[in-house]
Amino acid sequence: MTLSAPPEQNPALYPELIAPRQTDDGIILSLRIPRNLAYFSGHFDQVPIVPGVVQIQWAVHYAQRYLGLQAAFSHMEAVKFKELLLPEQHFELSLRYAPQACKLEFRYHSETREYSSGRIYFHDTSL
């Protein structure tokens, strides 16, 4: 199923969202890094890259937006940054949230590369 992509409040802070698609257990977002992404300023001058902390923030942001995640951050595990995300790059972000475990799995990837992945845990606010 294809979902609509509402505009971001501040597009300089997020990748261009090309197409979100629902899967059986989560969502896959097709994204493109804009050349004028605010996080490139000072990170780094010769070759601007998307910082790892920003990739984690994007995963949480899109999980809140598309998967209804409302819980508070607890901790992360198995977070790996394997390849750089650069200006004008196209890629996908796969998100899967397991509410019973309060666990968000994220994976930034393309057909030929995995850029980063990991698990983010949240506090169960229903207790």
Comparing 19 with 120, the larger pLDDT belongs to 120
Residues 35 and 118: their CA atoms lie apart, in Å, by: 26
Confidence label for 53 from pLDDT (cuts 50, 70 and 90): very high
Which SS3 state, helix, strand or coil, does residue 90 take?
A: strand
- Residue 17 pLDDT: 92
Contacts of 12 (CB under 8 A, 6+ apart): 34, 36, 37, 38
Query: Is residue 100 within 8 Å of residue 69, measured between CB atoms?
Result: no
37 burial type by CB count under 10 A (0-12 exposed, 13-18 middle, 19+ buried): buried
Question: What is the CB-side half-sphere exposure of residue 8 using CA atoms within 13 A?
Answer: 14
Which pTM value belongs to this model?
0.88
pLDDT tens by residue, 32-46: 999 989 888 776 778
Q: Where do the domains of the chain lie?
A: 63-127
For residue 2, pLDDT beyond 50: no
Higher pLDDT, 106 or 5: 106
Candidate from 9-13, 53-57, 84-88, 116-120 with smallest mean pLDDT: 9-13
Query: How confident is the prediction for the chain on average, in pLDDT?
Result: 88
